[in-house]
Structure 1
Amino acid sequence: MIRTLLVTLGLAAVTGAFAAAPAVVRIGVATQGYGDPPVFGGSPAATAQLQHRVEDALAPDGIKVQWLFFKGAGPAVNEALANHQIDFAYQGDLPAVLGRANGLKTKLLIESNVRTGVYLAVPPDSDIKTVKDLKGKRVAIFRGTNLQLVADNVLKVNGLSEKDLRVINLDDAASQAALASKGVDAVFLDFKLFKLQRQGLAKIIYASRDGGLQYTRQAHLLVLDDFERDHPDVVQKVVTSVVQAAQWSSEEPNRGALFTLWAKSGVPVESWESEYANQSLKDRSSPLLDPFIVARYQSVADDALRLNLIRQPVTVNGWFEPKYLDQALKTLKLENYWPRFDASGKPITS
């Protein structure tokens, strides 16, 4: 009787282990996808999706991968995380901080598209020449995204705040349409503005990255706490896949092929060339959780509190989980491949 019970319990344990393995891994992306099936560009995570690296890594285990895109960007991704509708998320720094402030239990695993600036664009015939000229103007900003905080800091250094503008909360597509139709006086946006400029529908008058790396945004891949706890082997394979994509995206001989690949997202090659002009692919595609990244996320949290975007202080201590990245770097022999930056954004030479 006891022997039979032990065998039964053993079978139940094995069955439970198999049942616990996910049939599908769901990755949320904080942008509206393009095409059918939808894809995106501009990051190693996007490269991983376009090259099917995660799918190839999990297929031997019978695990499928779903990439779910959110027009509502970071805030919509946070809602999906809260409802356990996705397991992983690719999003920016500010939305993730907002999620953490609201109690989302996640682990930040790896960076993907770092040190990215924002641009300020106006209609071609506008008399707006500088950021200071935005006072009292209708300005489109996608609130709740990592773009908002950079825009707010750019305004601050120019003696302004959102209260000095007539801010209109518009997503990426609506912002572009409003600018092209002159429904707004200016737009804070990303590389999508280069296409409008080439079409003669916009004029870029400011690039935040020119003001220093403190005016850049970071994006990452994170995972729900309980998924990471239950499926560390799956998490490792996902992270390793994105690190492989980051290496490929960092190789200068791949620059042309990379931009052609990303052009499948609907953003022309010329826009990617403009976005990455005079910049090292390694610097922008680094997956590292180095002192610069940790400092930037804490700064984002501090700024979010100062701007009343969150109600209580948020610390990044314990949020980053580097063991999967460290293992991937070791396995792929990439421990010294990417440059590391200190908290101020200067390369660490030793």
Structure 2
Amino acid sequence: MKLMSLARLAAGAALTLGFFLTAAQAEEPLVIHVGYAAIGVDNRPFAEGTSAATARAGEYLEKEFANDPDIKIEWTFFKGAGPAVNEAFANEQLDFAYQGDLPSLIGRATGLKTKYLLASGARKPLYLAIAKDSGIQKIEELKGRKVALQRGTNGHLAAIKVLNAHGLTERDVQIVNLDSAGTVAALTSKDIDAAFGDTQLINLAAKGSADVIYTTKGDDPRFGRNAGIIGREAFIETHPEITQRVVDAFVKAAQWSSDEPNRAALFELWHKSGTPIPIIEEYFSNDKLAYRNSPLIDGLLVSQYKEQATKSKEYGLIRREVDLEGWFEPKYLNDALERLNLKSFWQPYGADGKPVAS
């Protein structure tokens, strides 16, 4: 009888413990892990130039879930850019991320289960800067020279396209794989001859430590770079309502980032990244905010990703075919545009690069 009583007590205790453990687990907040495939100056957890950067600096996601104590937002900025984001997705450490076209296509090709939810930082230009006294005056003269870029990023693919358009291949130059900070240091010390990049190169030229000799701005639009918000498929399927609210927040950030009266305030917000405001002004000179900050998954964007996939394999950056069927998931974006009365706010473009009727 004593043994039976002890057994019942033990069983009861186990059930009680299980109940409390379950209750405790139920009370644990859901952490939404958001990644950004870049990092600010001196490793600041901010960026510039995209509506995703606005969402971070303006705390759009945090505000969206401010009245939900069981939901937390955690941002991670990656010095290793797109390739590091892929690694984090593979290890299920991210639920959403801002990522450029090439690394997201590489992730798709290697089997990462993600969805493309909306554009952010589309149509970004690329710059080419040369070290002082390098003697380089045009792209054709890069042959045999040390040229920095960050491998596996959308800037990598854009740089190859630019080289090809001027009669060079990646093998014709000595590629040096460097992140933004490393590029600035190497170009300043003249350890490299030239580098592809964006705002860090504009800033370096403004300081008189390098010279920008080329930008894709005003050149063939296919030389530009695209990016967007990618979501982990398993999270999206498990939390569709939360996914919708995340997309809503990014769309609101895109709207504010696209309003011309907000230009000065926007650049001030992006300055949290450490990039000087005059550099951001130059980066967006002659560009409409709505053109650069559109979240639309339009014909132009989809055609650009398809071309990037083809070119990536052609250039040997991806070994297998990239199946884009079903990867673009516009339903959350479309729902947000409908409810926020933004269906006609941004101009969609066709695959030919020309405006199309909304």
TM-score of the superposition, structure 1-length normalised?
0.93
1:32 maps to which of 39, 45, 59: 39
SS at match of 1:122: strand
Amino acid at match of 2:183: S
The partner residue of 1:58 within 61, 65, 68 is: 65
- Which whole-Å CA distance do the structure 1 matches of 2:125 and 2:52 have between them? 18
Q: Which amino acid aligns with 1:259?
A: F
Q: Give a deviation string over 1:24-55, Cα, whole Å, max 9, x none.
A: 10001111245797222211111111111101
Partner deviation per Cα, 1:268-304 (whole Å, 9 max, x = no partner): 1001110110110000000000000100111111011
Q: Which ranges in structure 1 are unaligned for 5 or more consecutive residues?
A: 1-11
* Contact in 2 for aligned 1:294/1:316 (Cα 8 Å): no
Residues 298 and 315 in structure 1, CA contact (< 8 A), matched pair in contact too: no
Q: In the alignment, does 2:191 pair up with 1:183?
A: yes
CA contact (8 A) 1:121 1:206 kept: yes
AA matched with 2:263: R
Alignment of 1:145-164 (within 5 A): 145-164=153-172
Give the residue type in structure 2 aligned to 1:208.
T
Q: What does residue 337 of structure 1 align with?
A: 345
Q: SS of the residue aligned with 2:34?
A: strand
Counterpart-to-counterpart distance in 2, 1:39 and 1:312: 34
- AA aligned to 2:97 is A
Identity of aligned pairs, percent? 47
1:54–1:151: structure 2 CA closer, same or farther, 3 Å change rule?
same
**302-311 or 55-64, larger mean C-alpha shift:** 55-64
Matched, 1:297 2:305: yes
Counterpart position of 2:13: none
Partner of 1:43: 50
Amino acid at match of 1:156: N
Structure 1 position 317 matched with structure 2 position 325: yes
Query: Is the contact between residue 21 and residue 231 of structure 1 (CA under 8 Å) also seen in structure 2?
Result: no
After superposition, the Cα gap between the structure-2 partners of 1:332 and 1:169, relative to the gap in structure 1 and judged at 3 Å, is same
Q: Indicate the larger mover: 117-126 or 328-337.
A: 117-126
**AA aligned opposite 1:223:** G
Moved more, 107-116 or 51-60: 51-60
Structure 2: state its 5+ residue gaps.
Answer: 1-18
1:23 and 2:27 matched? no
Aligned to 2:232: 224
* Counterpart position of 2:275: 267
Matches within 5 A, 1:230-249: 230-249=238-257
Letter in 2 for 1:32: I
Whole-Å separation in 1 of the counterparts to 2:327 and 2:212? 36
Report if aligned partners of 1:121, 1:186 keep a CA contact under 8 Å in 2: yes
How do 1:91-240 residues align onto structure 2 when only pairs under 5 Å count? 91-240=99-248
Q: Counterparts of 2:232 and 2:29 in 1: how far apart (Å)? A: 14
Q: SS at 2:280's partner residue?
A: helix
C-alpha contact (below 8 Å) 1:58/1:234 kept by paired residues: no
1:131-181 superposed Cα distances (whole Å, 9 cap, x missing partner):
101000010011000000000000111110110001111111101110111
Using the size of structure 2 for normalisation, the TM-score is 0.91
